[in-house]
Amino acid sequence: MLTLGSLVFTANAQEAPKYRRSALSMIRIDGKFATPNDDQVDQAWNSYPFPDKYDKLPINVTLSNPAKKEFNGTEVAKDLLFAKDDSVAQALMAQLAAQGVGERMVKSWYNYDEGRKTVNMSTIQRAGCYDASEMDKMIAQSQARGTASLGDAGIQLIGNSYVVCSQLTFVSNEFAAALVEAAALSKAASIKMPAAQQAAVKGAQAAYEEGKNGYSVWTKTWLFRLDWNDATRKAFEDKFDWNGTTGTLKAGATIDPAMFSLKYVGMSKANNLVVGLGQDAATIINKAVARNVDKVYAQLQKTYDEFKPMTPVLSNDPQIVAQIGMKEGLEGGEKFDVLEQNLDMQTGTITYKKVGSVKVDKKNVWDNRYAAGSEADNAAASLKGTVFLGKAKKVYPGLLLKQAK
């Protein structure tokens, strides 16, 4: 058993150590919403920086909004306010299955070459933080085929593969405000006492006037996980003849997309208010979209423990610092477990041992949100990371932090 905190960390205290991360594929639910800013929203999504706490799975598919076939401002507002999220999730899962997303994720992990019908373990090697000598040693120790000693590691790595499907909309607040007003007026009409009815009508009208100004970015994100286990791994790998870390599809063998499926984990939603666009609409929309997406990701991470990323300790002299911040939803005071990662050279698996705990310093939360550095007097954006309170000598670079349940 090797402790990876010391195994893979370099002498440079400012260079983050290697560590295993969950893999992620980001997909935007397609659909033009008949708003004048559709193209700018598309550009904002395409330029959104990939979350650096995850490894990227490049899966390109097109998803249509399962709730509506045609869109206009009012229909979008109705969908965003009243759509049943679980039914949307099931419809999205059907679309993902129809396009073979599970199969694509697995083939991406194994670097499947469609022309040559070959696979190799280079992506698993890289994501598993093995250097070539470590992988060769584990293969040499294996008493079965070359990949057997990496079986458990493959389950750990590939099993932590996620797909996030995001519905992203930029709409005038007037649409949503009008719907809320109509619902309130309908309810007011059923009030029998004239004075109370009149008060309810005035309240509904006042709420409309207050809420109709500006625009909103609405984001709903559904999270899915690859359903991966030892039986599925073995069924896939048995279709290949292996020579070390390279496999060739056996004669007559085929890969059935139905072998691979996704599990629905959950969803989150958020919205940001944009008071006005002015002349620099693209910059404002880019910022609003990026921060809104950050918000739904942070909510998913806090709600679903399996999706929480781990963050390496960057330094402990003189303070404990890690590069996680407001983008991940930190506000100050959150508690984190300090984890030591250990590699089993026989199986390739990594286990995590809790060796301490730290707490986010409320006075030193790093503002790593989109365009934070361009904001005047934003001292938090100039930090190199968030400061954590704890016993610095015992929390050294190479250890990992994960937000406590």
Determine contact, residues 358/338, Cβ cutoff 8 Å. Answer: yes
Question: Look-up: residue for tokens 């072998």?
Answer: 259
9, 389, 394 from 402: Cα distances, Å = 18, 14, 16
Two tokens, residue 46: 């395409």
Looking at the chain, the whole-number percentage of residues with pLDDT higher than 90 is 39
Q: Is 89 exposed, middle or buried (0-12, 13-18, 19+ CB in 10 A)?
A: buried
Number of alpha carbons in the 13 Å side-chain half-sphere of residue 335: 5
- Name residues whose C-beta falls within 8 Å of residue 186's C-beta, 6 or more positions apart in sequence: none
Instruction: Please write the tens of the pLDDT for every residue from 336-389.
Output: 999 998 877 666 677 889 999 999 999 999 998 887 877 756 777 778 899 999
Instruction: Please write the tens of the pLDDT for every residue from 288-334.
Output: 889 899 999 999 999 999 999 999 999 998 899 999 999 999 999 99
Q: For residue 19, what pLDDT band results from cuts at 50, 70 and 90?
A: confident
Instruction: Please write the tens of the pLDDT for every residue from 152-164.
Output: 566 678 999 999 9
Average model confidence (pLDDT) across the chain: 81
Question: Look-up: residue for tokens 């139905």?
Answer: 258
Cα–Cα distance, 340 to 342 (Å, whole number): 7
Q: Which range (100-104, 259-263, 282-286) has the least confidence? A: 282-286
